[in-house]
Structure 1
Amino acid sequence: MSEYQNHIRQTLEGQYEDPSEDLGMDAMRWTPAPASDDVTDEEMSTAAETAHALLDRAADAYLSLLNSVLGDGTHHMVASASTPHGELIEGQRLTVMGEAVIIDEAEAMRVCAVLAAGMVGCATGGLVARTFAPDGSESVRGWAVRNFWLRPLTANDIRQAYSVEPVTGAPLTPEPGVTYRQAERVPRPQAEAQPGSGSTGRTAPRDTRPPNRRN
């Protein structure tokens, strides 16, 4: 999986190009821009390292969701982030059948990029999964981006999110045949779950925001 994550990182940095595919990679490149001409090379390097760390963390969360949580079925996922620079939304469709996964890599990279953007200070984010299970049932569950990870939303949280039109605030009629589910906990990487194990696994960047601005 590290090779896959490196591929994502290179894409965001603009280092990866495939002339045979028009995937809109320019929109995904994450190269921190200086706020002024007074920004030093060291500050730029620190910003780039933070971006890489957030992208690594988003990829870890995405892969953990994929490997341990989603389950069999076809899943329509939408990741969103609200940042000081605007709203980001990316969707993806994938199918899980036992250990087999049918997935579009470009869509997965974009979802990871949006999750990473939601982890940046002063930003918020989340991910919703609509699952069509092998037994024909349809359900929706969601996770919020908090403290550099995906935190499960309750069934009531996701039900309320789908009961109001986001632009006008008007109530929406519940979708027939859809179950709003309590989301599962997304496991953290084993090395992180066992501090002091001597592993060199990734850790989240230190949160330097004041408490009232944290996700």
Structure 2
Amino acid sequence: MNSWITSVLPAAPARVLDAGCGAGTLAAQLIAGGYDVTAIDLDPSAALAAGVPAVRADLAGFEAAPFEAIVMRMSLHHMEPMEMALNAAARLLAPGGSLVVDDFAWERADPAAATWFYDAGAVIGGRDLVADPANEWEREHGDLATGEEMLAAISARFDVKTLRRVPFLHRYLKCEGERAERLRTIEELRHPLIGLRVLAVSRGTDGT
């Protein structure tokens, strides 16, 4: 389980919304940890296949009783319009509830970081070598919300309590164990920290 997320969540059995649950991995772990989890996604098929009782829903129009926490793990950068999604999050959180965002600021990756990422992917995952890593990184990520856009939109609606910039690219390479730790250390020492972890608190039922 993501130790940072669990460290900032209220204690189980808190009512938690996993917004953009993807394959349902986090939701399953939170359920196993005793949380009362509602998992939603525009396409919940992967989560349902994994046994997670996910719901097909768009956060912007989702209706439910208030949650003590809303978690967005690698989902906010995909949400359009992002402002409407965060307005809904503000509405769905109980007063003083927590918004937990684990995402990445793709725009902070410089050409050296992009080169390291794609070269590592070729070695670890057998991917083809990329001739122009910086342009490929921009092509793959340029349509996503930037970290600064996410932070501005969150700050306009919530009180940001903590903001951490952490290594991220090693997670993107999807390796585990000692190799993942070595890659994390290299990334932390040599490249911009593009991982973005935000804990914010609801200002009220309407985010004001």
Q: TM-score range by the shorter chain?
A: under 0.3
Larger helix proportion of the pair: 2
TM-score, with structure 1 as normaliser? 0.27
Give TM-score scaled by structure 2 length. Answer: 0.28
Larger Rg: 1
Q: Which has the higher contact order (CA 8 A, sep 6+)?
A: 2
